[in-house]
Amino acid sequence: MNDSDSANSANQQIERVVIVGGGTAGWMAATAFSRFLANGRRQIHLVESDAIGTVGVGEATIPPILNFNGMLDLNENEFLRETQGTIKLGIEFVNWGKLGDRYIHPFGFYGHDIHGIAFYQLWLREHGRGNPGYISDYCMSAVAAEGGKFGRPSQKSRPPVSEMLYAFHFDATLYARYLRERSEKQGVIRHEGRIVQVHREPESGYVTSVELESGEKIEGDLFIDCSGFRALLIGETLGVGYEDWSHWLPVDRAIPVPTKNVGPPDPFTRSTAHGAGWQWRIPLQHRTGNGHVYCSQFIGDDEAEAVLMANLEGEAMADRRVIRFTTGRRKLSWSHNVVALGLSSGFLEPLESTSIHLIQNGIQRLLALFPNRQISPVERDEYNRGMQELYEDVRDFIVLHYKLTQRDDTPFWRYVREMEVSDALKRKMELWRLHGRIFREGAELFGTTSWVAVTLGQNMWPERYDPIVDSLDEVKVAAAIAELRERYRQAAAALPMQEEFLRMAGAWAAQDVRPQMATAP
C-alpha cells in the first residue's frame, strides 16, 4: 500500500456515528462504540428526547451479558450497585404446561456426560427405571436458584460451583444512566431534543443529518436507529417494512407495575401464565418489577390490570400504563447507512428475556462488520442475514412454550396449542418426540439445557431415550447419577443466600431502607 492508498482509505473512514435514541439500546451502543470506535478522529453522537422518554422496562437478561460487560470492562459489583441489580440463575415457569405445574429453565448445564453420552439421556433412562428426582436437581444454577443461593464462580472455583452460569436483573432506568455516565466519560457527545426532520442525500437515499426542534442539525456518516417502537429512521424515513409474527406470538400489550419488596430477592425471574397471557416478576434490590403481558383479542385492559393486581406480592408503586406492541421484526435491520438496534428493529415478547441480548448481539455484529463510508452490500447483507437467523431462532423457542401447553381452560390457550408453527420448529419438536434428540444449529442461542428444561417442564416426554444409552451399565450409571445429585445439593447448601452474597461482595446499593443482614468483614 502506498501513501496515496492509505490517505484514500483514511478518507473513506466513517467519522461521525449518530445514535438516535437514549434508551437501553442507545446507551448500550454508545458505550460500546465509544470504547471501540472513538479513535480521536471518529466522533460518537447520541440524540435523545426527555419529552418523549424511554419505554422504561426490560430488566432481565441472559448469560451472554457477562461477555458484553467484559467487553466494556465493567466492574461487576459496581454495575450491580449502580443498577440496584440482582443475580438471575434462570426463569421459573408457573402454570405453563397445566395449571399448578412449575419448572425452572436454568442457565448452565445438566450433569456430566458419560463417554460422550448426554447426561439428560442417561437421566431419561434412569427416570424410567428408578427415582432420580427432577432433571433440575442436576444443574448447579437450578439447585442454587431453588434455595435462593448464589456464589460467583471464579477461576479458582471447582465443580460443581464452577458450572454455575448467571445473568442479571437490573433497573432499566438506572442501567441507561450508568451507561450514559460511562459513555460521556469515553467521549460521547449527547444532544437533547426532539428530532423533527431527517435529511437524506437525494441520489443514494443515505441519511445525512437529523434536525432537532431547536433547528440544530446533527450530521453523520452512519446512523444507529435506537428510537424505540417508533423506528424513526429505519421505518418512518427509509420505509423498511415490518414482518408481523402475531399469528405465532399473539400477545400485544403489557401493563408494568413495580412493587415494594416483601422479602430478600430471589435469584430468578418468575413467569406465571394467566388466562390470556402471563405475568413477570423480576426481583431487584430496591423493588420488584412486575407486569402482565396479554393478548387484547382475549382480554380487555381493565381485566388484565385486575388480574395483575390480584397476583402481586407487594404494594404497587405506580399507576397503570399500557404498552402496545406487535411481535415481529423489521425486514432489514440495516438499510442504506442506518442500522436499527432495540425495539426499532423488532420485538419478541420478553418471555425469555432476549431483547437486550438482541441489542448486544447487533452491536457486536456491527463492530465485527464495521463499514467504510462506501458501505459494502456484502457486509450489510451479512449483518442482515445473521440478525434474521437469530430473531427467527429466538422466536421459535418462545413459540415452543405456547405450543407445548396442555391448557384448554381459555380460548387463548386453545388458540396457541392448536396454531401451526414454523417448519423448523416442527422438525425440532419431532426429533425431540422420537428419541429426545436436540441439535443446535449454527449460532442458535438456546441449546440443549433450554430445550430439555422447557419440553420436560411442559410434559413433552420423548417416546424413548436414545438407544446409545444402553451401551452403558444401568447400575453403574444409576450410582453415578445419585452421587452427582448429592454433590449439587451439598454445594448449594454451602453457598450464601444471594442478598448476603451481594452485601459481602460490596454489590448491594447503599440506599437500602430494610434492616441490614449480617455482612462479612
Q: Answer yes or no whether residue 254 interacts with ligand FAD by CB under 6 A.
A: yes
Q: How many residues does the chain have?
A: 521
Least distance (Å) from ligand FAD to the CB of residue 107?
14
Instruction: Indicate the residue among 55 and 144 with the shorter CB distance to ligand FAD.
Output: 55
Q: Which of residues 386-445 bind ligand FAD (CB under 6 A)?
A: none
Q: Which stretch binds ligand FAD (CB under 6 A): 43-51, 68-76, 121-129, 258-266?
A: 43-51
Q: Which of residues 133-172 bind ligand FAD (CB under 6 A)?
A: 172
Beta bridge partners of 273: 278
Q: Which of residues 275-314 bind ligand FAD (CB under 6 A)?
A: 291
Beta bridge partners of 3: none
Instruction: Indicate the residue among 148 and 342 with the shorter CB distance to ligand FAD.
Output: 342
d(CA 476, CA 481): 9
Cα torsion through 232, 354, 277, 256, rounded to 10: -60
Q: Which stretch binds ligand FAD (CB under 6 A): 108-116, 241-249, 312-320, 353-361?
A: 353-361
For residue 378, what is its C-alpha cell?
A: 456484502
Instruction: Indicate the residue among 138 and 347 with the shorter CB distance to ligand FAD.
Output: 347
Which contacts (CB < 8 Å, 24+ apart) does range 28-31 have? 28/68, 28/179, 28/341, 28/356, 28/359, 28/360, 28/363, 29/224, 29/226, 29/341, 29/359, 29/363, 30/179, 30/180, 30/183, 30/188, 31/72, 31/179, 31/182, 31/183, 31/186, 31/188
Q: Answer yes or no whether residue 85 interacts with ligand FAD by CB under 6 A.
A: no
Q: Answer yes or no whether residue 22 interacts with ligand FAD by CB under 6 A.
A: yes
Instruction: Indicate the residue among 134 and 229 with the shorter CB distance to ligand FAD.
Output: 229
The answer to whether the beta carbons of residues 248 and 419 sit under 8 Å apart is yes
Q: Which of residues 199-228 bind ligand FAD (CB under 6 A)?
A: 226-228
Q: Answer yes or no whether residue 250 interacts with ligand FAD by CB under 6 A.
A: no
Answer for which of 44, 135, 232, 369 binds ligand FAD (CB under 6 A) is 232
Answer for which of 17, 32, 44, 47 binds ligand FAD (CB under 6 A) is 47
* Amino acid identity, position 471: S
Least distance (Å) from ligand FAD to the CB of residue 176?
8
Least distance (Å) from ligand FAD to the CB of residue 53?
6
Beta bridge partners of 291: 256, 280
Q: Answer yes or no whether residue 230 interacts with ligand FAD by CB under 6 A.
A: yes
The answer to whether the beta carbons of residues 225 and 339 sit under 8 Å apart is yes
Q: Answer yes or no whether residue 24 interacts with ligand FAD by CB under 6 A.
A: yes
Least distance (Å) from ligand FAD to the CB of residue 358?
7
Pairing of strands 222-225, 16-20: parallel
Beta bridge partners of 200: 207
For residue 2, what is its C-alpha cell?
A: 502506498
What φ, ψ does residue 489 adopt, rounded to 5°? -60, -45
Our answer to whether residue 88 is catalytic in this structure is yes
Answer for which of 31, 33, 45, 49 binds ligand FAD (CB under 6 A) is 49
Task: Determine the angle formed by the axes of helices 64-72 and 355-368, rounding to 10 degrees.
Answer: 50
Q: Answer yes or no whether residue 231 interacts with ligand FAD by CB under 6 A.
A: no
Please calculate the CA angle 354-237-32 and round it to the nearest 5 degrees: 40
Q: Answer yes or no whether residue 356 interacts with ligand FAD by CB under 6 A.
A: yes
Answer for which of 41, 102, 185, 194 binds ligand FAD (CB under 6 A) is 194
Instruction: Indicate the residue among 58 and 151 with the shorter CB distance to ligand FAD.
Output: 58
Q: Which of residues 309-348 bind ligand FAD (CB under 6 A)?
A: 323, 325, 342-344
Q: Answer yes or no whether residue 21 interacts with ligand FAD by CB under 6 A.
A: yes
Least distance (Å) from ligand FAD to the CB of residue 226?
5
Q: Answer yes or no whether residue 355 interacts with ligand FAD by CB under 6 A.
A: yes
Q: Distances in Å between the alpha carbon of 58 and those of 24, 313, 479?
A: 8, 20, 43
Question: Among 233, 94, 108, 100, which Cα is nearest to 159's?
Answer: 108
Q: Which stretch binds ligand FAD (CB under 6 A): 5-13, 21-29, 303-311, 416-424?
A: 21-29
Answer for which of 90, 106, 153, 350 binds ligand FAD (CB under 6 A) is 350
Which of these is catalytic: 88, 149, 403, 428? 88
Instruction: Indicate the residue among 212 and 504 with the shorter CB distance to ligand FAD.
Output: 212
Number of residues binding to ligand FAD, judged by CB under 6 A: 40
Least distance (Å) from ligand FAD to the CB of residue 429?
25
Task: Give the contact letters, 51-70, x = binds to ligand FAD (CB under 6 A), - = no.
Answer: -xxxx-xxxxx---------
d(CA 284, CA 21): 25
Characterise 57 by phi-psi region: left (phi > 0), alpha (psi -120 to 50), beta (else): beta
d(CA 115, CA 175): 44
Least distance (Å) from ligand FAD to the CB of residue 346?
10
Q: Residue 198: which H helix or E strand, with range?
A: strand 195-200
d(CA 396, CA 92): 19
Q: Which stretch binds ligand FAD (CB under 6 A): 4-12, 49-57, 89-97, 495-503?
A: 49-57
d(CA 244, CA 184): 37
Q: Answer yes or no whether residue 48 interacts with ligand FAD by CB under 6 A.
A: yes
State the residues that interact with ligand FAD by CB under 6 A.
21-26, 47-49, 52-55, 57-61, 172, 194-195, 226-228, 230, 232, 254, 256, 291, 323, 325, 342-344, 350, 353-356, 359
Catalytic residues: 88
